[in-house]
Structures are given as structure tokens and as C-alpha cells.
Structure 1
Amino acid sequence: MLLLQRFDQSLLGRAEKPALEFERPGAPRLTFTFGDFEARSNRLAALLRQRGLQRGDRLAFFLQNRPEVVDLWLAGVKLGLVLVPVNVLYRERELKHILTDSAPTAVVTSQDMAAFIPVGTEIWDVDALTAEAAALPAERVAEHCDLDTPLSLIYTSGTTGASKGAVLTQRNFASNGETLARDWKFTSEDRYLATLPLFHVHGLANGLHIWLFSGCHMRLTERFEHAKAAEWFEDYRPTVFFGVPAMYIRLLELPPPQARAIGSRLRLAVSGSAPLPAEVHEKFRQLYGSVILERYGMTETLMNIGNPYDGERRPGTVGLPLAHVAVRICDEAGKDVADGTTGEVWVKGPNVCAGYWRRPEATAAAWCDGWFRTGDIGVRAADGYITLQGRRSDLIISGGFNIYPREIEELLLEQPGVREATVVGNPDPVRGEVPVAYLVVDSATFDETAVNARLRTQLASFKQPRAFVRVDAIPRTALGKVQKHLLPRFTAGS
């Protein structure tokens, strides 16, 4: 079934059903039916067509969570556009690269965020766009699309720090959503609290699509705020919540009676985007009486592996391959390794993207005989449960966001007084890891305050090094490769 046909089971088949409520800071709550989104997205699709957008054209959006993101996504599906979600925490350097590489017709953003968009980029104000579309007819506007039609270009950094766009098709999103909605037993009676960002595949490919597939109700918030989480859970009474480990760590701060009441209504709590500490898994079970379901996915593949809905949700593991995904654990030669032996995780299935945008060499390097090489290192137990043990690269995962050290290192090396730089992940009890920079500097010209200020204008907040550690030399091999394991251990306050 085509993706739009699947959406129509809610957009048309449940047109009068309450679909979404949106929490806006300091503003009245907005409510919508599925029929409202059908009409809104039709009007927007008509406007985008009037502005010259055709099937295959790129359209970026740089937006906080809001109903207009849903309108854009549905209009993109109907017109066969290639949508480019952009992380709202990105700043000049990251934005310039993504928008230059993807070359969208325009970027849809809000007035308060437009200033971050590089000069020379076509900007469409989201509120003006919505107001203009509201005056157009609500009849369905759609292009013929098939499952192989590209739907989104989502950027994920490579080990060299060069951000690559994964070309995700309607088939990728359809297969992912179908599997998760079925395996996680979603129904139209569920209530989904959506606090994850819609620019990320966790909130977009999982949350948004399962909502549309199942016809459940969703409360959308602009972002996750731990100070408001208890109020949201008490007021909305969700049956389903998707989060990253940092969110679950914050939720452990609630008093036991309140946590137990929330857990009694919560039939499914899913964690992903970063490793969930086994300790947090167990503490949440004890406090809430609810067992977190940890799963594993990537931008390039959407979801690959997950702990079962019915069955053991084993702490420290990502579970078993999903029904639509084949998984191998391979050695460096691409041969399967025995259970209990560490190797690289390879996957194959309709969830795997069509390749990297305009990067044939990167695409060729990541695929082998139809299998996608994830770069993640894992081990499979005799009963099939898979445990991830790290990255083939030096990836840092902080609060669910990917950080590749090379990007930060290159920017540090541009700063006055910095002679050498290397960035590593340091354990953090809330975010999992945070970046720490080791520097060889010229003390006469290096100004730490100025460098910190410069980095804040160039990089997202989660990429900011939490500390600068000055060293006399960075350990390297004879060939010049940094030996990060030989760096002095950093502890807060040292």
C-alpha cells in the first residue's frame, strides 16, 4: 500500500476524530482533527505548487515542533517533494553545509529563527505561508508517487565530520511505520505524548508515522522540558511515550507515588537514539512499574532491532531484529562471526535508505552486496538478543544527538593560539556522553573565553566542548594517528 493510501485511513477514514493537541508556551492549547490536517495539507500543497515546486524538488524546514510541520510533511508526501528537516540547534557552519549540499528551493522557518539561515538562502516564513494557504481551496492536490519515490533527505555526519544526506524513500517510511505500529500494538485508542523533535527520525519516522497509521491521539509539545513533564503526564495521561535516555534519567526525579500513577497508565515507554544504561532501565521499572522497550535505529535505516513488546525486554541490549530487517554480525572481511563474538552490525531490508545524496563513493563504501554496514559494533547472544558495544568510528552520542569529533576539531584548529586539537566523549550521568577537547596551545595568544564564544556562534549547543584540557602534546602513532586512549583522564573539576 502506498504511503498516502496508508495515511488516508486516518486523514479520510477518521476525518472527524480528534487527532492532535498542541502545547504552546504562554498560549491557548490548539486542537485538530485528522480531517483538519487533510484540508490544511491540501491547501499548503496547492500553494507550494503555485510557487513552482514539482515532484523531486527539495524543500527544507528549520522549525521547532508545531502543527505546521505536520502540514509540510503531508503536503510533501502528496506532491512527491523531498523534504529536508534541519536540526533547530544547528548554527552557521552546519546550516551552510546542509543547505548548500541539498540546494533546496527554500527553507521554511519562523521569524525568531530566520536570522540563523545563511545569507542568500530563500526563506519562507511559516506563519505567512500558512496564512496564504488558508485562502485556497481544500480539495486534494497530489502527484502520482510510488514506494520508491524519495521523500526526505536527512543529514547524518560521517566519521570524517562531513555531513551526508541519507535519501529516504516512501517505502522506507512505510515499512518502518507498519512494523512498529503492528509490533508495538498501537490502536486508535492510544494517547501518545510527543516531545521528541520532528526534525529527527525518532520523532518523525516513528512517532509521526505511527500516529497517522494507527489513528491514535497525540499531544505535541514544542520540546521536552523536564520541569513540565510531570504536569504533562498527569494532565494528558498518555499510554505511550517515546524518549531518549536523558529524558528517562530526568523522569527518575519524580516522587514515587506520582511515578507509580503515571506508570500505571503507560503501556509503552520506548527509548532510543543513544544507549540506555541498564541501571536506568532497572530504576525506571522499580519507580514506574513500567519496563522500557529499548530499540536501535539509524538515520540511514530507520529502525533495525528492538526488544519485544511481548517477551523479555533485556536491560543493556537492543533486542532482536525487527520483522522486516535482516541482521548480520560480521568481521572485517565481511564474514559472519559466531554468536558471542564481537563484529560490525550489517542490515538489509526495505527500511534501508537509497544511498547518500550526491555521494557515490560514500554510498559504495557503506554497502556490500546489498547489505548496509552500520559502523556499529555489536555481539549477538545465543538466543538472538543483540548488544551494541560502541562505534567503529569515534562517534559521541550526547542526549540522543550524534557528535563527530572531527567537525569540532577542525573549527578549534581555526582559532588563534590552538596548535593541535582532539575531541573525545566523556561519560556524563544525564546525557550519556559530552565532548571534551584536548588542546596544545600557545599560551600567549590562546584566549579560552573568546574561543568558547566563537564556538557558540558556529556549533549547536550539544556540540560545545564541556571542557578544554591543555596538554603538552597529543599522543600519536608513527603515522600521525591520534591515540585517544593515551590521553590523560578528564574528571570534572580537574
Structure 2
Amino acid sequence: MNLDWIKVRSLLTPDRIALVDPIKNSEWTYKEVNVRAENLAHYLKKNGVTKGDRVALYAPNDISYFDVLLASIKIGAIFIPLNWRLKPIEIKKVVEDAQPKVILHASQISKRLSLVDAALLSLDVDSKEYNEICEHPNHVPFLSESIELESPVMLIYTTGTTGDPKGAIITHNGMVNNSMNTIISWNITHEDITIASAPMFHIAGISGMIIPLMLIGGKVIIDRYFDGTNTNEMIKQYKPTMLFMVPTMYYGLISATNFHKDNLASVHTFVAGGSPPLKEVVNYFVSEKLPLINSYGLTEVGPNNFKLMSETALQHPFSIGYPSFFVEAKIVNDQDEEVEQGQIGELLLAGQHTFAGYWQKQEETAKAFLGDFVRTGDLAKKDENGLFYIVDRKKEMIITGGENVLPSEVERVLNAHPAVKDSVVVGYEHPRYGQSVGAAIIFKDKERSEAELDQYMTDNLAGYKTPKHYLFVDVFPTNSVGKTDKKEIIRLLNEWTTVKTIN
């Protein structure tokens, strides 16, 4: 089957502007985007990349995401966007699991690839050589491979239950159906413009709005690294009609010194996703009568599963809305029986947009499904109007600024410190990031300083995974049945945060 959608789009609207990169002071039409992808596909194929191979990219938001994804589709290869916030040892684990044929990378941040086999490092996407390959003047059309709808198009890596990475298999069918659901639910048209601020190595960053908008022929402004002040200037200059950001980014946007409500005059649709809504952000948007849509999703089911109309979003700002087109949702108890309206249970989702399983992990894949439904691990409820709400996370995953942190992974690193006897890692409230990582520590003998622990953790984990506050205790608080009382640890951390904020 011909799934080379960028080629079709380039024939339909060849001269329409598709991408704009303010840093590179460049813009590309749909025809030019397709030509770049075809030129890169020729290069990759010449260098041994064939159908089914994995092609990885390690870069901040950049046109190379579009080049590599679209070239991979033409070849029938599988695109892997690597999280550039991970530490070298974490990236090494992902690469060992995925076994990509090549890794394209941005030289400015490539130091963290130090533990990866240098033979895999292909092109520097910031180099003159890369640009000459993609914009070669003697373009030769590329004959795209015939691909099955259920074949993988992307591997998006997330954290497994053991702390080891696992690649969620996103199929062409899943990507296209998520995009169609999004286009219909949010009324996206070819006249819409967005700014790609969310990191594109996340499913929300690349599939939340970017791919749907390009399928329909809209315009994407590339925001290389989000910064509240800079993004405000971009909004004023490029006048986007739609925004998709992590709640933390909205916080940074509205708290920047150059922010003014008038900056947002061109935007008709605001979408927040990637982590639970922040009260400060929600309160601002409600006070200004600007509807902010909470987009619920996860790597395994895609970023957009529910839909809220603008007026409903203002009336129910913490709801995720109604199931979107062609999405089936249900809430079940611990016996996997559907609960009644108002009761809390685990949210399960089904549809053509969901993932196909985890890369080479059959046992983990089996645990992720109940029949055709994907287990989200999130606790939800449905009100009398049929609106869904996320009330808690069944899993203990911490979501800080849109990034997932598994407590057991952080605990394992902490407990390896020679002075640490035991540790408990939890998420506590943070006004900007939703949650931050905190840890209660029992030392073996002599107490160590936070600075020493900070340095040790920073050397071994990505910054967003390291504890931002420690509780040094002789024993962990326990509940009525003698188990460690994590709620009490969270309460103490939240109490510290409140005092610090007031002070």
C-alpha cells in the first residue's frame, strides 16, 4: 500500500509553506519538504538502510525530524526519535534495545552519545554535508516502498516497570487514525498554523498536532528549544491559530515578563497535554475566558483520545472531555468489570489509533492489553454528563513537566550510593511542573549533604529524574498495616514546598 503521504500532499499543495525555522531563517514548501525527504531516502538506502530497519534521530526540534521521519516512511524503515534529555547510560540502553542501523544527530548535544557505538553515528544534522544531501540540486524522484498499514512507522521509548526502556510500536495505521481523529475533533484546516514547542521525541510533541496539521496542509513553525520569553515573541510574529503545549510550557509562557493576553489574539484553539493540568494555568485561562482543552493520551494510545468543545472546557476546566471520534473508552475495577457512573476505576481505551505492543517484549505487551483495550494505568471517573476526569495514577509513575519518572529507577540509583541504607521516591506538588521528584532517605551511619547526593544523582540520571528535595529520616513513616506510608512522605514534601513558596 502507498503510505507516502507527504508525496501526495506535495502534489496537492506544492507551493504552500509547510515549515518555518526562525533560527535557520528558512522556510520550506510542501514540495521542498518532499524533495528533502526523497534525497535523504536515497542517501540512507545507498548506505544500507532497508525496509524494516530502524533509523534513529538525536536532535532538538528541527527540520531533521521531518526529513528523517518522512524518508523512513518512503523506505519502509522505522523512525526512532531519541530523548536528548537522557544520560549517556540511558541512551545506551535504548540503542541496545532498538538496534538502529544508523543514528543521525545534532553535534551541539551529541556528547551524551559517548557510550553509543561510534560506527552508528551517521550524519550531523547541523552540518553543511547534511544540508547538501537534503537539498541536492539534481533531485531524482524516489520510488517509495509498498507498506502494510499495520507495519511500524515509529518506536517511541518509554520507561518499563523495571526502569528499563521499552519501545512502543506505533504503526502507520495508528499514526494515521490518531491524525484523523485530531483533525476532525479540533476542526483543523489547511489555514491553521502552529508552533512546535513540545519536544518532538515525545508522542505528544510529534503526533499531538504536528503530523495532523501537515496531513491537512497547514503550517508549522519550529521552536528549537522552548523558552517562555522567546516563544511569546514567536507567537506575536507568526500568529499561530492553534497551540499544543505541556502545562509547564503554558506556565512559562504566561509568567514570562513579555507576556500579554493580546499576544494570544490569533489563537483559536489552546491544547494542553503530556501531564495533568496545572491549577495556576487553568485559573488564568478561565479568568480570561480562554478555553484550554486538556488533551489526554499516553505513548501507547497516542496524544488525543478525548474532545472538549470550547464552552464545555470553560465550564469544566479539569475534565478531559468525551471520547473522541472512533475511540472507545471504559472504566473498570480491579476485577476488570465496568464501573457505574461516578465510580473510580482504571481507564481503558481502544481504537485503530492504539499501539501494537512493545518492541521485542511479549510479556510486557500482554500486560498492557485487556482484549482490544489498552490499560492506561490511570484512575478515572465519568460524571452525570458523560464527561471523563483523571483523578489519580494507578501506576506510581511521576509526571514532572511532561516527563515520566519511575520511582523504582530513581530508588535503585539512590540505594547504590555507599552511604544510603534505603530510600523511598515519590512525586510531590510543584506549581510549575505539576510534580517534582522527592526522596526520603535513611543513611547507613553518617548523614551526607544534599549537595553530595545531588552531584551523585546528576552524574547517573537525567536532570528531570533527580530528586529536588530530600527528607533525611531515621525510619520511614508507616501506615496501620505496617507498610511505608508514602502519602505521609508526600504530605511532608508538600508541606515543605508550601512553606518555601510562602517564604
Residue of structure 1 equivalent to 2:302: 302
- AA partner of residue 324 (structure 1): F
Secondary structure, counterpart of 1:350 in structure 2: coil
1:469 to 465, 471, 477: 471
Residue of structure 1 equivalent to 2:267: 266
Residue of structure 2 equivalent to 1:291: 291
Secondary structure, counterpart of 1:12 in structure 2: helix
Deviations 1:163-199 (A, max 9, x none): 2111110001000001111221111111212211111
1:251 to 253, 259, 272: 253
Gaps (5+ residues) in structure 2? none
CA RMSD of aligned residues (A): 2.2
Q: Is the 8 A contact 2:189 2:213 kept in 1?
A: no
Q: Is the 8 A contact 1:422 1:439 kept in 2?
A: yes
1:120 to 114, 117, 122: 117
Q: For 1:40-439, what aligned pairs fall within 5 Å after superposition?
A: 40-117=36-113, 118-121=115-118, 122-124=120-122, 125-126=124-125, 127=127, 128-135=129-136, 137-253=139-255, 259-278=260-279, 280-287=281-288, 289-303=289-303, 305-309=305-309, 311-313=311-313, 314-439=316-441
Q: Is the 8 A contact 2:192 2:241 kept in 1?
A: yes
Q: Is the 8 A contact 2:291 2:310 kept in 1?
A: no
Cα distance in 2 for residues equivalent to 1:52 and 1:105: 8
Percent of pairs with identical residues: 27
Matched, 1:20 2:19: yes
Q: Is the 8 A contact 1:303 1:351 kept in 2?
A: no
Secondary structure, counterpart of 1:312 in structure 2: helix
- Cα offset for 1:445? 7.3
- AA partner of residue 271 (structure 1): A
Going from structure 1 to structure 2, the CA distance change for 1:283 and 1:345 (only over 3 Å counts) comes to: same
Cα distance in 2 for residues equivalent to 1:99 and 1:477: 41
Secondary structure, counterpart of 1:298 in structure 2: coil
Deviations 1:354-401 (A, max 9, x none): 111111111111112221111110001122110001111111111111
Cα distance in 2 for residues equivalent to 1:89 and 1:391: 24
Q: Is the 8 A contact 2:73 2:153 kept in 1?
A: yes
- TM-score w.r.t. the length of structure 1 is 0.93
Q: Is the 8 A contact 1:20 1:219 kept in 2?
A: yes
Secondary structure, counterpart of 2:303 in structure 1: strand
Q: Is the 8 A contact 2:185 2:307 kept in 1?
A: no
Secondary structure, counterpart of 2:13 in structure 1: coil
Cα distance in 2 for residues equivalent to 1:12 and 1:206: 24
Q: Is the 8 A contact 2:271 2:294 kept in 1?
A: yes
- AA partner of residue 42 (structure 1): E
Secondary structure, counterpart of 2:312 in structure 1: coil
Deviations 1:240-277 (A, max 9, x none): 11111112222333689x63323332111100111113
Going from structure 1 to structure 2, the CA distance change for 1:304 and 1:250 (only over 3 Å counts) comes to: closer
The number of aligned residues is 488
- AA partner of residue 45 (structure 1): A
- AA partner of residue 61 (structure 2): N
- Cα offset for 1:120? 2.2
- AA partner of residue 94 (structure 1): E
Q: Is the 8 A contact 1:91 1:458 kept in 2?
A: yes
Gaps (5+ residues) in structure 1? none
- Cα offset for 1:12? 2.1
Cα distance in 1 for residues equivalent to 2:261 and 2:106: 39
- TM-score w.r.t. the length of structure 2 is 0.92
Cα distance in 1 for residues equivalent to 2:11 and 2:478: 62
